[in-house]
Structure 1
Amino acid sequence: MEKLEIVPAIIPKTPDKVLEVKYPGNVKVDNGNQLTVDQTSKPPTVEWEAKEDAFYTLLMIDPDAPSRSNPKKAEWQHWLIGNIPGKNVKAGDVIIDYNGPTPPKNSGLHRYIFLVYEQPTGKISFKEKKIPKDSSEGRANFSIKDFSSKYKLNTPIAGNVCQVERS
């Protein structure tokens, strides 16, 4: 994540574990590999080393909205699920429905960062407004740093990143 300028600009340090992110068709996110809009249009499956009795928060953001040279809408929220018991993502509380990468034309490569945090205090009563899949309202100008501080999430335990460019 250092080579993609994610650490320390967006998160303080690289997570200790790799978050396994797999899109339909066995398309894997692999430390900055380049994928297409079509490959990433449907929600991926994600896996990490989880404690059965812990709760986790999963998020996906684009720090390059609308472009890496002009990130005035960064960090753009693509997905946020809290209170995931163990690694059962489907049982978590969806706060922001998955919305796949859709970088504007001619905006270059965008980094899509996936992070998992262990919730140190068990279940959390998240105050964020729920955002449906097809809505862009409320997705812009998110801050991982502010969010993790607000809910005392410390640093992510697992992460991964891919890059997507609209052709």
Structure 2
Amino acid sequence: MHVTYSNGKSVGFGTIIRPEEAVLQPTVTFQTLSEDKAYTLMMFDADAEVPLVRHWTIANIQGRDPTPAFNSNSPIHQYTPYHGPTPPENTGYHRYIFTLFEQTQFSQVLRPVLDFPNQHRAFFNLTAFINENQLKPVAAAYMLVTHQDGYEGEYKRINSGRFKSASAST
């Protein structure tokens, strides 16, 4: 799996990335494991002060052509719209993990169904999510990100239109 941000910086295993470099969702490519399968990609903060914060979840990525899922605002694909890393001050580096899961069904409705996918990102139970949706991890990468002053406001300003339209579609 290759995760690359617009500045050309790739996420590996422990790549250091500044929040300003990760404002927009990255490009994700992966070697197709099976053209007949669908996949779910998840990005989460493994070091949040709460149990887990999900930052991005894309579902129903077709193995034969993943592009439509990554470019879609449809709820069938955007389980959780992208939100770049925003670690709080004085918490050191946080591991933001990208994990690709193989789904058991081709067009799967992920549980729980979220009424407001942009809200309630914290306290996410990843183990229950994986078990309930019968997801199998097949690839991963992670980056290290620390707090950057002023980043949160800039992120909201740049993406405010995208979030309103994504929320309205649910």
TM-score range, shorter chain: 0.7 to 0.9
Of 78, 82, 96, the match for 2:55: 78
Kept after mapping to 1: 8 A contact 2:102/2:138:
yes
Partner residue of 1:120?
104
Percent identity of the aligned residues? 33
Superposed CA offset, 1:48-84 (max 9, x none): 1122221110100002113xxxxxx121010011111
Of 112, 133, 139, the match for 1:151: 133
Matches within 5 A, 1:10-159: 19-50=1-32, 51-66=34-49, 73-86=50-63, 87-88=66-67, 89-90=70-71, 93-127=77-111, 128-129=113-114, 131=116, 135=118, 137-154=119-136, 156-159=137-140
Q: 1:139, 1:95 → 2: CA distance?
A: 11
Q: 1:45, 1:106 → 2: CA distance?
A: 29
How many residues are matched?
A: 139
Q: 1:84, 1:123 → 2: CA distance?
A: 9
Can you give the 5+ residue segments of structure 2 that lack an aligned partner in the other structure? 149-170
Distance 1:34 1:130, change over 3 A: farther
Q: CA RMSD in A?
A: 1.6
Stretches of 4+ aligned residues off by more than 2 angstroms: 87-92
Q: 1:49, 1:94 → 2: CA distance?
A: 21
Can you give the 5+ residue segments of structure 1 that lack an aligned partner in the other structure? 1-18, 67-72
Superposed CA offset, 1:4-54 (max 9, x none): xxxxxxxxxxxxxxx210000101111011110101111001111122221
Between 1:156-165 and 1:140-149, the stretch displaced more is: 140-149
Whichever structure has more helix as a proportion of its residues is 2
Kept after mapping to 1: 8 A contact 2:59/2:79:
yes
Superposed CA offset, 1:130-161 (max 9, x none): 545xx4x310111221111001113x111100
Relative to the length of structure 1, the TM-score reads 0.77
